[in-house]
Amino acid sequence: MTSPTRRDLLATAAAAAAVSMAEVAPAAAQAGPKFPVPMVTIPIVGESQVFQVRRIYCIGRNYAAHAIERGSDPNREPPFFFQKPTDAIQNVAVGEVADHPYPSLTKNYHHEVELVAALKSGGTNIPVDKALDHVYGYALGLDMTRRDLQNGMAAEKKPWEIGKSFDHAAVIGPIHPASKTGHFDKGAISLAINGTVKQNSDLSKMIWNVAEQIAKLSEAFELKAGDIIYSGTPENVGPVVKGDVLLCKLEGLPDMSIRIV
């Protein structure tokens, strides 16, 4: 039997090292880069725990009068949805007038006051009569919009994400558990600028109620705990400028206020 040469021994050692490195590489890759990615949360009224946000869904043109002012058919056409980035959340505490930065690129910045539903569970193809079982609670929100950018992209038949998805675009008050507030199918909702009421309607005028929105969304996406849904805004959306103070009201929830800076 021929004894292994020095060259054979070196080749064997090199092969073993290569196998060892291949085994370690996936573990190292899984570890990933070491930099912090903050978790986005919303305070919960009466709880020390917070609500961790997974996704932000928004329904478009969900009040007939608002659909008309945006040039759409006010009839019960199928709903459409869009998303905002999770880190667009701006929390506003009860009793606070929070500074809200006027964003870049726009000269026509609009307010849209809305009811927000926060989910504790989800699924796909959720029946309407079971949809509210997945709601953890509700909050008052503002879907802020760079309207000139949205309109410009829409006119070019391009995605208008730039008009809706930007820093601080999802203003929201704290979440109130549905176990304490009940579910919202009616109730006055309004927004005033510097004391003058601009938006004034009722949740009962939504074309698609919260349960129907959840059911429709679950046909396209698997909904999960941590998802929040902005349920649409009434008519008379309009521009804000630096210095304006916005006061949002929803029957059954505390007021929410921001100052444009």
pLDDT of residue 126: 98
Reported pTM: 0.86
pLDDT at 61: 86
How would residue 9 be classed by pLDDT, with cut points 50, 70 and 90?
A: very low
pLDDT at 177 over 90: yes
**% of the chain residues with pLDDT over 70:** 83
Between 163 and 21, residue with greater pLDDT: 163
Q: Is it the case that residue 19 has pLDDT exceeding 50?
A: no
What does the block give as tokens for 80?
Answer: 């459409």
Average pLDDT over every residue of 70-85: 79
Q: Rounded distance, CA 213 to CA 8, Å?
A: 69
Taking residues 148-157, report their average pLDDT. 96
Would you state the pLDDT for residue 159? 95
The confidence score (pLDDT) of residue 35 equals 87
What lies within 8 Å, CB to CB, of 111 at 6+ separation is 142, 144, 145, 191, 193, 198, 199, 237, 238, 240, 246
Q: Is residue 76 predicted with pLDDT exceeding 80? A: no
Instruction: Calculate ∠ Cα 140-142-144, nearest 5°.
Output: 170
Lowest mean pLDDT, pick from 15-29, 34-48, 133-147: 15-29
pLDDT, average across residues 169-192: 98
pLDDT of residue 249: 98
Give me the pLDDT at residue 79, please.
Answer: 86
Mean pLDDT value across the chain: 89
Q: What is the predicted pLDDT for the residue at 64?
A: 77
> Tokens 């996936």 label which residue?
26
Return the pLDDT at 24. Answer: 43
User: What pLDDT is attached to residue 240?
Assistant: 98
**Cα–Cα distance for residue pair 17/49, rounded to 1 Å:** 48
Over residues 96-125, mean pLDDT: 98
- The reported pLDDT for the residue numbered 17 is 46
pLDDT for 22 beyond 50: no
Mean pLDDT lowest for which of 64-68, 91-95, 205-209? 64-68
pLDDT of residue 18: 46
* Residue range 195-224: mean pLDDT, rounded: 97
- Under CATH, what is the fold of the domain 37-258? Fumarylacetoacetate hydrolase; domain 2 (3.90.850)
For residue 21, what pLDDT is reported? 43
At 5, the pLDDT band (50, 70, 90 cuts) reads low
Q: Which long-range contacts (CB under 8 A, 24 or more apart) does 124-128 make?
A: 124/218, 124/219, 124/221, 124/222, 124/223, 125/218, 125/219, 126/214, 126/215, 126/218, 126/223, 127/215, 128/211, 128/212, 128/215
